[in-house]
A and B are shown apart, each in its own frame.
Chain A
Amino acid sequence: MNGRERVRKTLRHEEPDRPPIDLGSTPVTGIAASTYFRIRRALGLGEQPVTIGEPFQILAEVEEPVRRALGVDTIGIWNPTNMFGFRNEGWKPWALPDGTPALVPRDFETDVDADGNTLIYPKGDRRARPSARLPKDGYYFDAIVRQGPLDEDHLDPQDWAEQFEPYSDEDLRYLEDAVTRLYRDTDYALVGNFWQGGLGDVAHVPAPGLTHPKGLRDPNLWYEYLLTHADYIRGIFEIQADVALRNLELYRQVMGDRIEVLVMSGTDFGGQQRPLCSPKLFDELWKPLYRKLNDWVHAHTPWKVFFHSCGAVAPLLDRFVEAGVDILNPVQCSAAGMDAATLKAKHGDRLVFWGGGVDTQKTLPFGTVDEVRAEVRERVRILGKGGGFVFNTVHNIQARTPTENVLALYEEVRAAAFPLAPAARVP
């Protein structure tokens, strides 16, 4: 059974021969560049610089030999432009603060300030203010909030319009080339990194890819405005959804039925203990537009809709399903109310769990190899039963994660064969 068949089967809620594995098909199912460098070296696959496919979180572009060695079943169709608003092309050398050798796009323009922090320029434009900062010894960029003065009485959602652009012909050619090549030359399940349905994704509020962001850009204020200026927020969401709908049609024309999965939204709705907003607010602001976008996908394509939301979102999952979500990621089992058995029992017939494979806040970075293996076996046993499960760690594999823990986790998943032996089955 190849990767494409394996993923198709599990998306139909049937058990494949083993759990399909994702690593690196999206920027929320990937691996930190520094950890990737060590993994690849441990696999005997060289010490060449790591290509930074996602510069904001400094994630590695996972390469074919590594995919093969770890048993990965997926590959992503990435957008031509990254979080910082420049194209992923024209690679040049760069080193992470910990010394990991890397390749970054030509327009990855940075300065190091007096404190040793690395500052990056949006669209590679040094005339703009830097839009993100990588602390000295850090492992990720974080957005610099560039909030201009706000006139609360004259807020205009159109301030946000430049953030949501129709695909250009060049973009569509890029996507067409990628999907044609990957569908023809590989047997991986293809994942479309659309992302444009991520209404109010707080990672995009500061707009690290825009040179001069206008309107409300401070994430702290954003959460207040959800209540105090709901019409303004709704106006922004409507502009975004309109463009996303038009782009979905263009995406469909390019992708056809060659992708299995469409990544729709990365808006985080959960903290560690509870959702970040009330179910009522979700119903008012998000659900109608999510429904519209997801219904369009289901009416016009065979794709399954992938939603990423960290945290304790159990109280929202019925609403996600009603809004047309097919796949939940990253399945943060450590958050309140999100334990694997409960999720599988309550929602496993309707949601595919793409993640939840092993905890990345505690077990994977700080646990022993045996603890990692035990948690992986347990999650595969619970979440994998009856299909509807793609193995992925809970969000990206972080920097400073021990090499032996990462290698052990893939060994465990590859060794899992469905149907699981009776002793290992859920009682």
Chain B
Amino acid sequence: MQDVLDALKKAIEEGQAKDAAKAVRNALDGGAEPGAILRDVMVPAMDEVGRRYECGDYFLPEMLISARAMKEALAILRPQLVATDVRPAGTVVAGTVKGDLHDIGKNLVCMMLEGAGFEVRDLGVDVAPDAFVDAVRGGGVNVIALSALLTTTLPNMKVTIERLKAAGLRESVGVMVGGAPINGALATEIGADGYAEDAAGAVALARRLVGAPAESPRGAT
């Protein structure tokens, strides 16, 4: 079994989607517990991908193929997680703000968050402030993640946060922001709870906002 789990970890770290899918099937067939596969193998694998990105070994393409491998393995694992009642690390509603159609960064953040065990509801691009408000009003949301690439759409982040306040929902969720024209100072200025400069940072930030440890707990694999 250890060989199978090691193969799964390596396939995710190296972005081999087909191998990852195969390994997760083998692990389930071998009787591994779904929650343990996610917690002890897959989430640590994505943490390692994030670490390699942070230290400059990995770049956008490497991150994307690892996230793809994670996604495909998760698609196989998810029904088993649901069946065994494994809870997500938290629920994040993500989207690119009104007027902005750019999504490569946002998609990567969503994939990395899923890889870290979060449930992600991706509202897509050009998302109206009220759509975020409605999603939060629906309940069960811990964090909203706002993305923007354009200088001209940056103000819509602030508008979204103000709408949440007006709806009386601001205190019920953490708000994280990211994207090219944003920095930590601006994030504070517009009333966000945090800013991350990249997808790996977004995972750490989301964990902080839901009160989880900065790194996943590492079990024996």
Stretch at the interface among A4-12, A134-142, A188-196, A255-263: A134-142
Whether A83 is near chain B, meaning CB under 8 Å from some CB there, is: no
Do A224 and B101 have beta carbons less than 8 Å apart? no
Do A224 and B68 have beta carbons less than 8 Å apart? yes
- Docked pose: A230 CA to B96 CA in angstroms: 30
- Docked pose: A400 CA to B60 CA in angstroms: 31
Task: Please give the number of chain A residues whose Cβ is less than 8 angstroms from any Cβ of chain B in the complex.
Answer: 31
Contact pick for B60, options A140, A228, A271, A398, CB 8 Å: A271
Do A137 and B15 have beta carbons less than 8 Å apart? no
- Docked pose: A137 CA to B100 CA in angstroms: 10
Inside 8 A of A228's CB, which chain B residues have their CB?
15, 65
Stretch at the interface among B28-36, B102-110, B114-122, B209-217: B102-110
Whether B123 is near chain A, meaning CB under 8 Å from some CB there, is: no
In the complex, which residue of chain B has the Cβ closest to the Cβ of A136? B99
Contact pick for A278, options B15, B59, B103, B152, CB 8 Å: B59
Whether B75 is near chain A, meaning CB under 8 Å from some CB there, is: no
Whether B48 is near chain A, meaning CB under 8 Å from some CB there, is: no
Inside 8 A of B107's CB, which chain A residues have their CB?
220
Whole-angstrom distance between the Cβ of B219 and the nearest chain A Cβ: 30
Contact pick for B151, options A142, A227, A274, A361, CB 8 Å: A361
Do B61 and A219 have beta carbons less than 8 Å apart? no
Do B59 and A275 have beta carbons less than 8 Å apart? yes
Interface of B is mostly: loop
Whether A250 is near chain B, meaning CB under 8 Å from some CB there, is: no
Contact pick for A272, options B102, B152, B180, B186, CB 8 Å: B180
- Docked pose: A362 CA to B154 CA in angstroms: 10
Q: Which chain B residues numbered 45 to 77 have a C-beta less than 8 Å away from chain A?
A: 56, 58-62, 64-65, 68
Whether A254 is near chain B, meaning CB under 8 Å from some CB there, is: no
Inside 8 A of A278's CB, which chain B residues have their CB?
58-59, 62
Whether A91 is near chain B, meaning CB under 8 Å from some CB there, is: no
- Docked pose: A117 CA to B126 CA in angstroms: 10
Whether B89 is near chain A, meaning CB under 8 Å from some CB there, is: no
- Docked pose: A274 CA to B15 CA in angstroms: 20
Whether A223 is near chain B, meaning CB under 8 Å from some CB there, is: yes
Whole-angstrom distance between the Cβ of B73 and the nearest chain A Cβ: 16
Contact pick for B101, options A133, A137, A281, A399, CB 8 Å: A133
Do A219 and B181 have beta carbons less than 8 Å apart? no
Do B150 and A224 have beta carbons less than 8 Å apart? no
Whole-angstrom distance between the Cβ of B181 and the nearest chain A Cβ: 4
Contact pick for A361, options B62, B98, B180, CB 8 Å: B180
In the complex, which residue of chain B has the Cβ closest to the Cβ of A280? B59
Inside 8 A of B100's CB, which chain A residues have their CB?
135
In the complex, which residue of chain A has the Cβ closest to the Cβ of B17? A228
* Given A135-B126, A276-B60, A362-B181, A223 and B104 contact (CB-CB distance below 8 Å): yes
* Given A133-B101, A361-B181, A398-B151, A227 and B197 contact (CB-CB distance below 8 Å): no
Inside 8 A of B151's CB, which chain A residues have their CB?
360-361, 365, 398, 400
Whether B193 is near chain A, meaning CB under 8 Å from some CB there, is: no
Contact pick for A138, options B99, B104, B180, CB 8 Å: B99
Inside 8 A of A398's CB, which chain B residues have their CB?
150-152
Whether A416 is near chain B, meaning CB under 8 Å from some CB there, is: no
Contact pick for B150, options A117, A140, A223, CB 8 Å: A140
- Docked pose: A138 CA to B149 CA in angstroms: 13
Do A273 and B198 have beta carbons less than 8 Å apart? yes
Whole-angstrom distance between the Cβ of B169 and the nearest chain A Cβ: 24
- Docked pose: A142 CA to B102 CA in angstroms: 8
Do B59 and A277 have beta carbons less than 8 Å apart? yes
Do A272 and B197 have beta carbons less than 8 Å apart? yes
Whether A226 is near chain B, meaning CB under 8 Å from some CB there, is: yes
What residues of chain B have their CB less than 8 Å away from a CB belonging to chain A?
15, 56, 58-62, 64-65, 68, 98-104, 107, 126, 150-152, 180-181, 186, 197-198
5 closest cross-chain pairs (CB), A and B: A142-B101, A361-B181, A226-B61, A227-B61, A224-B64
